[in-house]
Amino acid sequence: MLFAVPASASGLLPAPAVEQPRSGEFQLTGRTAIVVPAGDAQALSSARYLADLLARSRGLKLKVVEGAAPANAPAIELRRGSPGGEAYVLDASPSGLTIQSDGDAGLFYGAVSVWQLATAAPGKGPAAIPAVHVEDAPRFAWRGVLLDSARNFRSPAFVEAFIDRMARAKLNVLQWHLVDDQGWRLEIKKYPRLTEVGALRVPAGPAAAADLDPATHQPRRVGGFYTQDQVREIVAYAAARHVTIVPEIEMPGHATAAIAAYPQFGAGPERPQGPSSDWGVHTSLYNVDDATFGFLEDVLTEVMDLFPSRYIHVGGDEAAKASWKADPAVQARMRALWIGDEDALQGWFIGRIEQFLKAHGRKLVGWDEILQGGVSPGATVMSWRGLDGALVAAKLNHDAIVAAAPVYYFDNRQAGDPDQPPGRGKVVTLRDVYAYDPLPPGLTALEQRHVLGVQGQVWSEHIRTDERLWTMAFPRTLAIAETGWSPAGRKDWSGFVARAKLQSARDRALGEPSGPVEIPGLVFPADERVRTSQQLNLCSAKIALNLEDDAPVRGPRARFLVDITNPCWIWPRADLAGVTAIEASVGQLPFNFQLGADRDKIRLRPPVTPSGELEVRDGCTGPLLASLPLAAALASQGVTTLHAPLAAATPGRHDLCFTFTQKTLDPLWVLDRVRLEASPRGH
C-alpha cells in the first residue's frame, strides 16, 4: 500500500474495529436531543453521561428524552439491538446519529465515541460531525490501569477524575493498590488499627524529621485512607462508567503497614514500628498461624462487601522469605504440612486464600510469583516480570494479564530531558508502550485466549503530586487503551500520535491537566560546558532512579538521575580545551531503599577526608583530575555548589567520570549538575 490509511480519520481513540466514512454531516447543536428507550435505566445513564461530557466540553446543554425522538431536529438515539456486551454500532448521518447495542457497556462506549466525534475539532458550541459508520468491539476483555494509592495517597476526588479519564478511553479495570509496606489505605471496621497505625508515615530523611507538627511537636506525618463510605461512592462512580475496581490486598509480603498495626500476624523475630518510609523489597511477612488467616479472611470479607468485582487481587509479589526462615512457628507448620520449602509454603498460603475467595464466588488474581511453589488451580496470573508469567500461565491453562515491566510501568521516565518528573530512571516512551506486543510468542491460538488483556501500572513511590501522576500516566495510558481495544492490525503509530494529541486537548477542554504527547528525547543545554545528571551517562543502571531531593519540605526540589547501587556518572568525550576548573552541584538523599543482600554488594570508594569527596577522573579507572571535598556540602539539606581546579589533562576529549567516596551508604550523595570552567574562580 502506498498511502497508510489512518486507523481513525474521525479521531476516535482507541481506534474502532471498523470505521467507514459516509457523505454529509450530522449537525450537533444545542437543540439536538439524546433519545433513549423508555424505562431503560442503563441507556439513560449513558445518555446523561454523554450530555454531561458535551456540556463540559462544548457548553452545549442537550436534553435527554425517553421514548420517541422529537420531530424538530435530528437526534442522537441510543437503541437496543445487536451487537451485545461491550460492542456497539454507530451511524452518523445528516438525518441522525444512532448508537446500537444490546450491552449496557456497548451503549456506554458508543456514547464515549459520540463525545469524541463531537470534540474532534476544538472549540465550544455546535459541532459538525462528518457522517461515519462504526462497528466496534474490544480486542481484550481486561483493559486495566493500576493506581498505587499506597505509596502516595490520592484523594477520592483524584481517584474519581482518574476513573473518568480511563472511561473516556474505554479502559475498564482499575486495579486499586490499597495496601503496601508504606501505607494501609482502606478502612476495615473490624481492625481499626490498620488505618490508625498504617495510614500515616513520616517521610524519609532529615528534612521531614525536622518538620514538626505544631500540634504534637512530633514530625509531621503524611498519608490518609479511604472510609468505607468513600469507597462505596468511588465504586459506584466507576460502575456508572463501566469501570470495575479490582482491589489489591497484598500478602504474604508488602505487609509492613499491616504488621506494624497488628504485630501478632507477623513472622520472624522483628516487628516494624510503623509503616515504612523506605522503598524496595521489605522483609515483613505475615505468619502462617490460623489466627492470621482468620484476620486476612475478615479483611477480605469486608473487601468483598465493598467491591463487587469478580476478581480480588492478593499481590503475592516480592515476598522475601527471610522472616519465614527465621520463625520457628512458621518452620514447624511447614514441616507439619509436609511442605518442602518456603516457596511451596507461599503456594500453600495463596492456595488457601484462593479457596476462601472461591467459596465466596470470587476469583483470585496475583502477581506472577504465584506461579512459584505450585499455582492455585483457579488463579489468574498478572505477568509483571516481562511476558514469562503470561506464557507459563497460559501453557498451564491459567488466565493471564500482561502488566509487563518495564514497558507497562509508568513510573519510568518518558524521556531523558531534565524536566521529566521523578520516577524510575529507565526511559519508556509513548512509542515503546504503543509498539509493545502483549501476546507472548509461542502460544497457540487456544492458549492466546488465556491472555485476558493488558494493564499499565502507575506505581507511585516517586510520584508525590497529582500533577506529576497525570503526566506519568497520560498519554502512555492511551497506548494501553488502544492496545487493549483496537484490533492488532489497526494500530497505526502516526495516526495514534495525532489522536492522542486530540484526546489531550479534550482533557484540557474539560479543565484537566494533560501531559505532552511529543516529548523531546534528550535536551542538552545551550552552554556546551554544562550537564545535569540526566544529561550525563550513568556508569551502570542496576537500579537507576530519577530521584527528587528530600528537601526542602515545601517548595521546589532538585532531581537527580542516579544508580543507587553505584552513584557514578560519565560525561562522554568532554572537551577539556582551556578548562582549568570544575564546578559541581551535589545533593544528599536519605538511603531509604530496602535491597536485601544487594545492599551488601554496593562498593563505596574509601574517602580521603572524613566527609568524603566527589572525585573526577579521566575514565572511571583513570587518573584523578579533581577532588571536591564534601565537608562544605554536609550542612545543607539542599544542593551545594562546589569548585575545584582541574588537573591539567591531555588536550582533547575525555570521558570524565564522577564518583563519590564515602564510608556509609547514608546519605546517598548525588550529582545535580557539572560545569567546566575555562578560567579558575575561587569562593
CB of 640 to ligand ACM, least distance (A): 35
Residues 6+ apart with CB under 8 A from 229: none
Using CA atoms, how far apart are residues 680 and 683, in angstroms rounded to an integer? 10
Min CB(317)–ligand ACM separation in Å: 4
Q: Which residues contact 342 (CB under 8 A, 6 or more apart)?
A: 321, 324, 325, 334
User: What is the smallest separation between the CB atom of 390 and ligand ACM, expressed in angstroms?
Assistant: 14
User: What angle, 0 to 180 degrees and rounded to 10, lies between the N-to-C axes of helices 41-58 and 104-118?
Assistant: 20
> Toward ligand ACM, which CB reaches closer, 302 or 318?
318
Alpha helix segments (H runs only) across 135-289 = 156-167, 193-198, 206-209, 228-240, 256-261
Q: Which residues pair with 674 in a beta bridge?
A: 531, 584
Judged by DSSP in three states, 391 sits in helix
Nearer to ligand ACM, 279 or 384 (CB): 384
For ligand ACM, the nearest residue by Cβ is 317
Distance CA 245, CA 408 (A): 19
Rounded to the nearest whole angstrom, what is the least distance from the CB of residue 540 to ligand ACM in the complex?
A: 21
Tell me if 88 sits within 8 A of 110, measured CB to CB: yes
- Report strand pairing: 380-385 vs 363-367: parallel
Residue with Cβ nearer ligand ACM (148 or 447): 148
The answer, yes or no, to whether the previous bond of 406 is cis (omega within 30 of 0) is yes
Cβ contact 408:437 at 8 Å: no
Q: Quick one: angle between helices 41-58 and 493-509, nearest 10?
A: 80
Which residues are within 8 A (CB) of 531 and not within 5 positions of it... i.e. 6 or more apart?
Answer: 524, 525, 571, 673, 674
CB of 505 closer than 8 Å to CB of 474 = no
Measured over the CA atoms of residue 93, residue 96, residue 101 and residue 107, the dihedral's sign is: positive
Nearer residue to ligand ACM within complex by CB, 598 or 655: 598
Nearer to ligand ACM by Cβ, of 191 and 286: the residue is: 286
Location of C-alpha cell 454523554? 50
Structural contact between residues 411 and 405, judged by C-beta atoms closer than 8 angstroms: no
Q: How far is the CB of 384 from ligand ACM (least distance, A)?
A: 4
Q: DSSP 3-state assignment of 372?
A: coil
Task: State which residue, 366 or 612, has the beta carbon closest to ligand ACM.
Answer: 366
Catalog residues that contact ligand ACM under the rule CB under 6 A. Answer: 317-318, 367, 384
- Residue 225 or 367 with smaller CB distance to ligand ACM: 367
CA distance 59 to 74: 19
Let me know: does 571 contact 661? Beta carbons within 8 Å.
Answer: no
CB of 316 to ligand ACM, least distance (A): 9
Q: Which is nearer to ligand ACM, 106 or 440 (CB)?
A: 440
Alpha-carbon distance of 112 to 24, in angstroms, equals 21
Q: Which residues pair with 626 in a beta bridge?
A: 616
Answer for the pair 201, 175: CB distance below 8 angstroms, yes or no.
no
The alpha carbon dihedral of 259, 264, 267, 273 has a sign of: positive
Active-site residue set: 180, 254, 318
Task: Record the cell numbers describing residue 152, joined without a space.
Answer: 502516595
Kindly tell me which of 47 and 371 has the beta carbon lying closer to ligand ACM: 371
Q: Show Cβ contacts of residue 537 under 8 Å, excluding neighbours closer than 6 positions.
A: 569, 570, 571, 572
Q: For cell 489505605, what's the residue?
A: 185
Distance in Å, CB of 109 to ligand ACM, minimum: 29
DSSP three-state, residue 597: helix
Instruction: Supply the minimum distance, in Å, between the C-beta of residue 262 and ligand ACM.
Output: 23
Q: How far is the CB of 455 from ligand ACM (least distance, A)?
A: 11
Report angle CA 61, 63, 66 to the nearest 5 degrees: 160
The partner residues of 147 in beta bridges, in order of sequence, read 176, 458
Alpha carbons 485 and 406: distance in angstroms, whole number = 21
- Pick 115 or 311: Cβ nearer ligand ACM: 311
* Cβ closest to ligand ACM, residue 411 vs residue 549: 411
DSSP calls for 221-290? -EE--B-HHHHHHHHHHHHHTT-EEEEEEEESSS-HHHHHH-GGGB-SS---SSS---EE-----B---H
Q: How far is the CB of 460 from ligand ACM (least distance, A)?
A: 12
Smallest distance from ligand ACM to CB 579, Å: 43
What amino acid occupies position 423?
G
- Between 193 and 385, CB nearer to ligand ACM: 385
Compute CA 128 distance to the chain's CA centroid, rounded to the nearest angstrom.
37
Exposure b/e, 601-637, CB count within 10 A at least 16 = b: eeebeebeeeebbbbbbbeeeeeebbbbbbeebeeeb
**Smallest distance from ligand ACM to CB 149, Å:** 15
Q: Which is nearer to ligand ACM, 110 or 280 (CB)?
A: 280
At residue 226, the 3 state secondary structure works out as strand
Q: How far is the CB of 180 from ligand ACM (least distance, A)?
A: 10
* Alpha-carbon distance values, 278 to 282, 523, 592 (Å): 8, 32, 4
